Structure 1
Amino acid sequence: MATVTNSPWKHLLLDALQTNAHLKQSSFFQLATVGCNGKPANRTVVFRGFHEGSQKIEIYTDSRSHKVDDLKRCPYGEICWYFTDTWEQFRINGKIEMIDSFNADPLKLHLREKAWFASSLKSRMQYLGCDPGRPYIVSETPNSYRLEPTDGPVDTFCLLVLDPEQVDYLNLKGNERVVFRVNPDNPESHEWIVEKINP
């Protein structure tokens, strides 16, 4: 075991993203939360980049979705990312912060707005639809949505920010597995404990 700083797993992830960039699915991963019933809930989401150049991972979602309800009760989740060309898997868990329209911090609201405008207009339109995960009712389905390119974020747009606490990296081609953990004795120092384990 060794202790290092500066998110030593991040360069592995960036390399995997670059090497697999020609595959559209490389920008998707699975996000698991603890459901309101205490059972695991899993879904596929889109990687939106690192939060302000940090190690934190951004995800965009609808504030009416089940995952938001899950995170209100238990603010922890885990993502699983598999890159098919390089046979690499990243399991990253940590606390997830929700930045929605009710957030009182002006700086965080600015980050939410920045995320909103980083999305395509087509992606933004999704947040104008009916409540996700609810029964489909024809009469409630809008015939047309209207959203101007300069309109700010709608109330249903939510920015999720996952702050990694543990990263489990598996390379099946190299038969290598490494676990990176935030130093529990000094979590604010950005020190990571690195341990090679059996695949």
Structure 2
Amino acid sequence: MPQWRQGLTKSLHQTRSMPESRYFQLATVDGSGTPFCRTVVFRGMTDENQLVVISDTRTEKYSQLEKNAQAQVCWYFSKSREQYRFSCLATIITASQDINLVKQHWNKLSDAGKKQFLWGEPGTPRNDGTALQIEGDFDEVPPHFCVILLAIESVDYLNLRGNPQSREWHQKDANGNWVSQALIP
């Protein structure tokens, strides 16, 4: 297990009682190079060091990652005062590509989580203040539900505790092994 992943596992364990530790910021760019950043929910990590999130194929996030799979993640843990910045390459998995993986993540969602995928197209106008209408069945994966795997290419870790603070850079070498370098914060 890479050194940075051991640290991330420890950070997640130390902050497990803090709901906000499950959220990180995901940055993408549109076709003109304009950056977009949003908060997403951490859904796990694969054995191949990929962060897992879920999404909707009708969102800007999806269309931006389809055109440019490069993404940046920034994850801050306030309790331990640690920041991880991951440079990632995104892979989007739809039900037509891997129904088992997509269904596995759909089934992990609460009914409240599933509702978000069944009440209309994200970003479209909401005409009145009435409750959103649910269209679909909680037992069936909607065709626009997808899983995004963020393959970590490099890690910039910063620990703000202590004086001086500490910073590390982690990346794969030519053989695919993770190497680390201490940096000046």
TM-score normalised according to structure 2 size = 0.91
Equivalent pairs: percent with the same residue? Answer: 30
Look up the match of 1:3: none
DSSP 3-state at the match of 2:155: strand
Look up the match of 2:10: 15
Equivalent position to 1:163, from 123, 137, 151: 151
Look up the match of 1:129: 119
Instruction: Return the letter of the residue paired with 1:122.
Output: A
Q: What are the within-5 Å matches in structure 2 for residues 83-162 of structure 1?
A: 83-103=77-97, 108-138=98-128, 143-145=133-135, 147-148=137-138, 151-162=139-150
DSSP 3-state at the match of 2:55: strand
Instruction: Return the letter of the residue paired with 2:181.
Output: E
CA-atom RMSD in angstroms: 1.9
- Whose helix proportion is higher, 1 or 2? 1
Q: Deviations over 1:61-84 (max 9, x none)?
A: 111110001001101101100011
Runs of 4+ in 1 over 3 A off after TM superposition: 141-146
TM-score normalised according to structure 1 size = 0.85
Instruction: Return the letter of the residue paired with 2:24.
Output: F
Greater relative contact order (Cα < 8 A, sep 6+): 1
Distance 2:114 2:132 in 1: 15
Instruction: Return the letter of the residue paired with 2:72.
Output: E
Distance 2:17 2:147 in 1: 26
Look up the match of 1:33: 28
* Contact 1:88-1:172 at 8 Å conserved across structures: yes
Q: Which runs of 5+ in 2 are unaligned?
A: none
Q: Which runs of 5+ in 1 are unaligned?
A: 1-5
Distance 2:158 2:20 in 1: 18
